[in-house]
Amino acid sequence: MAIILTSALKKSFGRIEAVAGVDLSIQKGEIFGLLGPNGAGKTTTIGMLCTIIRPSSGSAFLAGYDVVREPSRVRRQVGIVFQDPTLDTVLTGRENLELHARLYSVSSRVRKERIEQMLELVDLRHRADDITRTYSGGMRRRLELARGLLHRPAVLFLDEPTLGLDPQTRARLWEYIKKTAHAEQTTIVLTTHYMEEAEQVCDRVGIIDHGRIIALDTPEKLKETMGGEMVVVRAAKQPLEKIRNLPYVSEVRENDGTLEIITKEAHRHLPKILSLMKDVHCVEMRVPTLNDVFIKLTGRDIRDDTVEDAGSWVDSIARYRQRGS
């Protein structure tokens, strides 16, 4: 059952087409990663699904509600963990959750029980009555996760949820995210620039670029599109054309003096490949990663932010409220 369904979804800002026709079907209970370089359209797409941004054309439904015609109903089905911190740091953890519960009209009959459940789920009961400014970055993220789930949304949007956290805290936070998604039967839609995280936690991944979905599948299926194993070689002599013409080589890329070669049965063909080079400094042979797929599809160039990435979701909400729409 699709919890999110879009058809030819578009958004233009003047002459800039930030989203150029996105078709998505995300299933209930799925952990879905929307990945793309800066300015690709992912923030605008999620903004439309959250009703923060009004589509220019096309359609989008969340939990059966039209994001344009029924925005208030859509918002009740949505939880958001923003990239930028949004906790009230003069309140305790429990008070932050209490405030959120009241804003979402969680009844007093179940409010206390739900708050305790969420604190237990993210392992913060022992710090629930401490002021949140005393929390570590990882603890604040866990509290924001609990807050986003408190009103039992159908869909939880996570915008770069582990940005700036150390590797140990990132790994632990993903454990909480997967646990909460399973326990709450909540669909998770996330954006991240950490490709290895998306590869490990997402059921499916959509790669968006120039406002269009250019790849959509499971991480494993996407990696299979690379066409073989990856051989990375650094050498003084790199005869690109000879290597490209080898029948078992599907692709060769040069990056800052290093060759990245895609070939099937790399262990068999590696000696022949290396015999064409001189002064080989290092060799690495590995299976492709989701990051390899991402770079192949979107390129290596760092892009300037466009209008859709000119600010955080918090800024977008502020602009949305000012318009009164």
- pLDDT tens, position by position, 240-271: 888 989 999 988 888 777 888 999 888 899 99
325: pLDDT confidence band, cut at 50, 70 and 90? very low
Chain centre to alpha carbon of residue 212: 16
pLDDT at 144: 92
Average pLDDT over residues 226-249: 88
Tell me, yes or no, whether 298 lies in a domain. Answer: no
283 and 187 co-located in one domain: no
pLDDT at 304: 55
pLDDT at 318: 46
212 and 77 co-located in one domain: yes
Which residues, in sequence order, are bridge partners of residue 178?
A: none
The answer to whether 151 and 106 have CB atoms below 8 angstroms apart is yes
Q: Rounded to whole angstroms, how far apart are CA atoms 255 and 234?
A: 10
Q: Rounded to whole angstroms, how far apart are CA atoms 225 and 294?
A: 11
User: How much of the chain exceeds pLDDT 90, in percent?
Assistant: 60
315: pLDDT confidence band, cut at 50, 70 and 90? low
On the question of pLDDT at 316 being above 70, the answer is no
56 and 123 co-located in one domain: yes
Tell me, yes or no, whether 200 lies in a domain. Answer: yes
pLDDT at 307: 52
On the question of pLDDT at 202 being above 90, the answer is yes
Q: What is the pTM of this model?
A: 0.84
Among 230, 307, 290, which Cα is nearest to 36's?
Answer: 290
198 and 273 co-located in one domain: no
10 and 103 co-located in one domain: yes
300: pLDDT confidence band, cut at 50, 70 and 90? low
Look over the chain and give the mean of its residue pLDDT values, rounded to a whole number: 88
Q: Rounded to whole angstroms, how far apart are CA atoms 28 and 16?
A: 33
pLDDT at 206: 97
Tell me, yes or no, whether 123 lies in a domain. Answer: yes
67 and 208 co-located in one domain: yes
Which CATH number is 254's domain given? 3.30.70
pLDDT at 324: 43
154 and 49 co-located in one domain: yes
Q: Which domain holds residue 168?
A: 2-218
159 and 13 co-located in one domain: yes
On the question of pLDDT at 28 being above 70, the answer is yes
311: pLDDT confidence band, cut at 50, 70 and 90? very low
74 and 185 co-located in one domain: yes
pLDDT, tens digit (0-9, with 9 covering 90-100), for 83-122: 888 899 999 999 999 999 999 999 988 999 999 999 998 8
46 and 7 co-located in one domain: yes
On the question of pLDDT at 310 being above 60, the answer is no
On the question of pLDDT at 68 being above 90, the answer is yes
163 and 209 co-located in one domain: yes
182: pLDDT confidence band, cut at 50, 70 and 90? confident
Kind of pairing between the strands at 258-263 and 187-191:
unpaired
On the question of pLDDT at 312 being above 60, the answer is no
Which residues, in sequence order, are bridge partners of residue 6?
A: 24, 60
Q: Which residues are CB-contacts of 151 (< 8 A; sequence separation ≥ 6)?
A: 76, 79, 100, 101, 104, 106
Q: Rounded to whole angstroms, how far apart are CA atoms 88 and 67?
A: 28
Q: How many domains does the chain have?
A: 2
